[in-house]
Structure 1
């Protein structure tokens, strides 16, 4: 498997798109690393304290990513998976800097899921 296929984010001219697996009511707001799903896709694991009700977990995801990537909340938006644990999120900004920050946040926290 190549490095690119293990990285759960894609670069664009406007920023990056990140594949996430979110755990609501996870006890804390934290990025837990990278996980490979049973179908072979890689996702960034994220946990938030908020419950999955009325968009609270989605707001917590946006807040966590904006803080972790040091961008304004307005630059983080959910592209798909609004009602799902699996989400696709876009973050506008310098793609190279965002990718390097994400790599640092997820380094050494990867695991395989059967």
Structure 2
């Protein structure tokens, strides 16, 4: 089975009263795009395509990816972290502290909808 673009990873806690955890996003980043193209380009079952105007050097594009994703999800940049692919165009981005409120599928659908609405036509 192919890895999904958006998935939930629960935090392991002995006294978990809520379903806090991480949302993992599988992204393909296109650095050096024009400022007008910056943002979410497309979303499929397997990957979210992100264009950023920052160049791929000294972490500039990674910072821009974090800014784009935090903007789309309306969450603090400090909750967005690149956990895999720091020097690659293929990245795994973790969003911290998402409370799925007992319905993982509904939460992921809501996040997917936010990304779909962010795609420029």
TM-score band by shorter chain is 0.7 to 0.9
Structure 1 match to 2:57: 53
Structure 2 match to 1:15: 22
Choose which of 11, 16, 32 in structure 1 pairs with 2:41: 32
Equivalent pair of 2:31/2:55 in contact (CA under 8 Å): yes
Structure 2: 5+ residue stretches without partners: 11-20, 101-105
Tell which has more relative contact order, 1 or 2 (C-alpha 8 A, sep 6+).
Answer: 1
Which digits, 9 at most, give the CA deviation of each residue in 1:65-97, with x for residues without a partner? 011101100100001000000000100132547
Equivalent pair of 2:73/2:114 in contact (CA under 8 Å): no
Cα RMSD over matched residues?
2.4
Equivalent pair of 2:4/2:26 in contact (CA under 8 Å): no
TM-score by length of 2: 0.71
How many corresponding residue pairs? 100
Structure 1: 5+ residue stretches without partners: 37-41, 110-114
